[in-house]
Amino acid sequence: MYIDRPASYTDYYELTMAQGYYLSGMHERRASFDYFFRKNPFDGGYVIFAGLKELIETINSMSFSPEEIDYLVNEGFDKEFINYLEEFEFTGNIWSVKEGEIVFPNEPIVTVEGNLLETQLIETLLLNVLNFQSLIATKACRIKFAAGDNSTILDFGLRRAQGLAGIHATRAAMIGGFDGTSNVYSAQRFKVQAGGTMAHSWVQSFNDELTAFRTYAEHYPKNTILLVDTYDTLGSGVPNAIKVGKELREEGYELQGIRLDSGDLAYFSKQARTMLDDAGFPDVKIAASNQLDERVIASLRTQNAPIDVFGVGTRLVTGDNSPALDGVYKLSSIGGDPTLKISENIEKITLPGHKKIYRYLNPDGSFYGDALLLDSETILERMHHPTFPAQKSNLNGRNYEELLFQVIKDGKLHVDLPSVKEIAEYKKERFSKLNPEFKRFDNPHIYKVGISTRLMETRDNLLNLLKP
């Protein structure tokens, strides 16, 4: 993640708890935590899991620098605890679903197991990375779905992002299905396609629009895309772009596209398409930007707007309408014994023990539902609704996949982690197996996530023991 002080990338109470565990002699007790979220963002039907590689690489490099140690000394932390932190490194185990996987509420999509101190200490980092990147990857997937596979979607969000979050927003957008970015830093770092042409200031810097277009085409004859709405989109912008297109053609090049950045995009794109076609430029692409999101793009598609490229910025990188994923990190076992958090709200009672996820399939290979079961279980005949156990689904005869795999073993990377492009391809393949009723924007179906009989009994027995 390029964090200069990764061990300090945490909340203060993680350190006070860690010191308390150490001074109480509890720090070496074995513990496991589950990461999950409780609600799909954007009133949608799914989440795209993202951020795993960045998280794992940061955990692998986590140690307390001399500057961090000095800070904690000045904060008054105990000397023996400080000595412990000077030698700290993560030695535990991490299981996770694959990055790019389609996931659903209340599934333990990451499990961290190790000593109590180290598993506690990485909580804030884990939540920060996975919640944000999964949120943006999900938003990007929705936008790509609205635009369709034949459209090109570009990330224009860096200038509107909350500071350095724009770096990881680009990464997540690529996983979610975007095709490129204006963000040069992220393109270089994550090995994705960068691109961009001109702003209105370029056009305004010349004496007239036609000169601005001609000058740009002179410098970039193989990739001329002209912004046509600085003054008068249909009165001068598109006609001047056509003039430059004809001049390029005489030189052996072709105008690649025009961009619309204001006004009625459906109307302007239709008029521009007609003007370009009539002038002999049917292959010139029309790009559009300006406060786009999945619903605006869906509306443009409904109006048959002939837009080939969408540039999406603010509403992507800010997770517009759902500014945070409500992912949580909850203790599920301590000292080898299952544990849970009790709540007056039954939906917030956590699931105990070390678990795994089976994804069951329909006969055509599409996703049917996910079952959560204890790690010691193998074959399931049925799964129960987590809060209404009388509702159950028969699983006999269904094929299934196990979703969790070990990423870190005894503090060491256990598998090779894929590139952003490979993750994006995996997401695309998995998304194709999610049925349409879960993808729609309005009133999507609720995906089945159930628990095994043994997991349900373990939870209920613990509840009876712990309730006063």
Cβ 174 vs Cβ 424: under 8 Å: yes
Phi first, then psi: what are they for 422, rounded to 5°?
A: -65, -40
Cβ 59 vs Cβ 90: under 8 Å: yes
Q: Is 335 left (phi over 0), alpha (psi -120 to 50) or beta?
A: left
Phi first, then psi: what are they for 276, rounded to 5°?
A: -65, -45
Q: How many residues does the chain have?
A: 468
Give yes or no for residue 320 having a pLDDT over 70: yes
Average pLDDT for the chain: 96
Residue 135, SS3 per DSSP: helix
Give the residue from 294, 317, 340 where a domain finishes: 317
β-pair type (448-451, 367-374): parallel
Same domain, 183 and 303: yes
Report how many domains make up the chain. Answer: 2
Which residue, 447, 454, 420, is CA-closest to 53? 420
Same domain, 108 and 162: no
Same domain, 63 and 187: no
Give yes or no for residue 1 having a pLDDT over 70: no
- Please, what's the b/e burial string for 164-176 (b: 16 or more CB within 10 A of its CB; e: otherwise)? ebbbbbbbbbbbb
Same domain, 254 and 369: no
pLDDT tens per residue across span 3-51: 677 899 999 999 999 999 999 999 999 999 999 999 999 999 999 999 9
pLDDT tens per residue across span 272-307: 999 999 999 999 999 999 999 999 999 999 999 999
CATH number (domain holding residue 193): 3.20.20.70
Same domain, 352 and 413: yes
Cβ 113 vs Cβ 410: under 8 Å: no
Cβ 345 vs Cβ 48: under 8 Å: no
Any residues with CB less than 8 A from the CB of 87 and at least 6 apart, and which?
Answer: none
Phi first, then psi: what are they for 33, rounded to 5°?
A: -125, 145
Looking at residue 346, its pLDDT comes to: 78
CA angle, residues 46, 179, 301, in degrees to nearest 5: 70
Same domain, 384 and 437: yes
Looking at residue 2, its pLDDT comes to: 56
CA angle, residues 285, 188, 411, in degrees to nearest 5: 130
The predicted model gives 189-204 an average pLDDT of 96
Same domain, 404 and 457: yes
- With respect to residue 189, please indicate whether it lies within any of the assigned structural domains: yes
CA angle, residues 324, 446, 316, in degrees to nearest 5: 30
pLDDT tens per residue across span 90-107: 999 999 999 999 999 999
Question: With the C-alpha atoms ordered 452, 458, 461, 467, is the resulting torsion angle positive or negative?
Answer: negative
The range of the structural domain enclosing residue 260 comes to 154-317
What is the rounded CA–CA span in Å between residue 126 and residue 120?
A: 10
pLDDT tens per residue across span 223-244: 999 999 999 999 999 999 999 9
Same domain, 301 and 446: no
Of the chain, the percentage scoring pLDDT greater than 70 comes to 99
Which residue, 416, 332, 428, 320, is CA-closest to 107? 332
Any residues with CB less than 8 A from the CB of 345 and at least 6 apart, and which?
Answer: none
- With respect to residue 246, please indicate whether it lies within any of the assigned structural domains: yes
CATH number (domain holding residue 399): 3.20.140.10
Same domain, 312 and 333: no
- With respect to residue 322, please indicate whether it lies within any of the assigned structural domains: no
